[in-house]
């Protein structure tokens, strides 16, 4: 914001863009706070006008046409990696061509996309610059985190908190979100999937403890039942089906639970899940209700990702499950949290069911409820 206002004070017009309308709204609030009584604010046009004639135009770039029709001396794109590359090349970049203007692209890396390519080009261009600023200067040495001060770090960030994040996050997530590193796109959330996906369906073992995870569906998506042997931390069964009514779904679940003598069944409670769970509980099955929220989903996904990365769990060599795990995606939200989802047009039912089963490791008693 400071750069945009400084240029506007000099009489320049600056276009400030963000990936979504919500993020543009956050920028608008920050602009109001920074400019105070020094500027006029046109909320309907999302423009900040300075007494010098300079102005800052704020736009959401989820629809590139929002930025068309403007000419600017400079462009700033916040969280640029989350912006569609077509918005940059087809709309935003031409905006500064007539003025021979400048651009400032910033944000947390997101694989090797257009932003990565622009950064690589900036390293060698005489009229460009590239900066990489980690949250805190650290390095990973022999699988441990060590302090390595960096000139652009946030030195007030506690090293103990960095260590906690290193221990709890998958390596790629930590490298990307904390170290501002460009990591490979493949397997961004789940790393090392094929290395742990080596098993064939098993048979029940005496004195072993089994946990089932359940992700419900009726039509487009798939209902998935995933069973993990909690004693040896191995996935032993996976059932996936769709377009059958709930009575048949309950029957298949009951049959699998009986075969594996599941001591715990963790089922998603959202939408149609609650009445199905209540039906199973009335029949005496040890079902725990899991309410999916952004926070609770993040917890189970990151726990499974860490287990896969560290080979704590071994999974079935199921190609559908492997494909869903390898394609699984994450998006950084404006507040810094992550949203995990399957890419558009793909399913994540086996991912959720297996993550639910893994989340039950160490839980005891049929009355526990996951929130």
Residues 170, 314, single domain; the answer is: no
Contact criterion met (CB below 8 Å) for 275 and 302: no
Contact criterion met (CB below 8 Å) for 186 and 326: yes
Q: Considering its fold, how many domains does the chain have in total? A: 3
Contact criterion met (CB below 8 Å) for 358 and 312: no
Contact criterion met (CB below 8 Å) for 109 and 49: no
Residues 330, 199, single domain; the answer is: yes
- Give the alpha-carbon dihedral of 320, 321, 324, 328, to 10 degrees: -170
121, pLDDT greater than 90: no
CA-nearest of 267, 250, 284 to 353 is 267
The larger pLDDT score, comparing residue 82 to residue 266, is at 266
- DSSP assignment of 89-106, as one string? IIIIHHHTTTTT-EEEE-
For residues 295 and 273, give the distance between their C-alpha atoms in angstroms, rounded to a whole number.
19
* pLDDT (tens digit per residue) in 202-244: 899 999 999 999 999 866 678 999 999 999 999 999 999 987 8
Residue 133 forms part of a structural domain: no
361, pLDDT greater than 90: no
Strand-strand pairing, 55-60 and 264-268: unpaired
Whole-model pTM?
Answer: 0.60
Residue that is last in its domain, among 79, 97, 124: 124
Residues 318, 209, single domain; the answer is: yes
Position 272 scores a pLDDT of 78
Q: Which domain holds residue 161?
A: 138-177
Residues 215, 293, single domain; the answer is: yes
Position 212 scores a pLDDT of 98
23, pLDDT greater than 80: yes
Residues 326-344, mean pLDDT to the nearest whole number: 75
For residues 308 and 193, give the distance between their C-alpha atoms in angstroms, rounded to a whole number.
6
* Percentage of residues in the chain having pLDDT higher than 90: 56
Position 218 scores a pLDDT of 67
Residues 207, 317, single domain; the answer is: yes
164 φ/ψ angles, rounded to the nearest 5 degrees = -60, -45
Residues 19, 148, single domain; the answer is: no
Cβ-Cβ contacts under 8 Å for 26 (sequence gap 6 or more):
18, 334
CA-nearest of 168, 163, 160 to 140 is 163
* pLDDT (tens digit per residue) in 76-93: 999 998 898 889 999 999
């Amino acid at each position: 914001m400071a750069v945009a206002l400084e240029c506007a004070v000099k009489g320049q017009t600056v276009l400030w863009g963000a990936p979504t309308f919500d993020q543009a709204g956050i920028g608008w609030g920050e602009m109001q706070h920074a400019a105070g009584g020094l500027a006029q604010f046109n909320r309907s046009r999302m423009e900040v006008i300075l007494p010098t004639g300079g102005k800052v135009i704020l736009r959401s770039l989820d629809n590139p046409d929002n930025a068309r029709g403007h000419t600017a001396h400079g462009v700033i794109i916040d969280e640029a990696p989350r912006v569609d590359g077509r918005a940059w090349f087809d709309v935003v970049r031409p905006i500064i061509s007539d003025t021979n203007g400048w651009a400032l692209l910033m944000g947390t890396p997101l694989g090797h996309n257009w932003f990565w390519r622009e950064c690589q080009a900036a390293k060698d261009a005489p009229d460009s610059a590239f900066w990489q600023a980690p949250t805190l200067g650290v390095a990973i040495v022999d699988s441990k985190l060590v302090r390595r001060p960096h000139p652009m770090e946030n030195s007030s960030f506690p090293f103990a908190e960095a260590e906690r994040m290193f221990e709890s996050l998958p390596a790629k997530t930590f490298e990307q979100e904390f170290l501002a590193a460009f990591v490979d796109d493949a397997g961004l959330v789940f790393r090392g999937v094929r290395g742990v996906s080596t098993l064939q369906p098993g048979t029940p073992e005496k004195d072993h403890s089994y946990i089932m995870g359940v992700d419900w569906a009726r039509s487009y998506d798939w209902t998935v039942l995933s069973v993990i042997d909690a004693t040896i931390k191995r996935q032993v069964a996976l059932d996936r089906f769709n377009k059958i009514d709930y009575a048949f779904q309950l029957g298949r679940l009951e049959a699998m639970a009986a075969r594996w003598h599941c001591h715990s069944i963790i089922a998603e409670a959202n939408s149609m899940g609650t009445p199905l769970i209540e039906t199973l509980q009335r029949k005496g099955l040890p079902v725990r209700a899991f309410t999916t929220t952004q926070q609770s989903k993040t917890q189970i996904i990151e726990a499974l990702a860490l287990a896969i990365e560290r080979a704590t769990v071994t999974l079935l060599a199921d190609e559908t499950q492997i494909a869903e795990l390898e394609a699984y995606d994450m998006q950084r939200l404006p507040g810094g949290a992550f949203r995990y989802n399957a890419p558009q047009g793909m399913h994540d039912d086996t991912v959720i069911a297996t993550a639910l089963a893994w989340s039950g490791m160490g839980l005891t008693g049929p009355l526990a409820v996951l929130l």
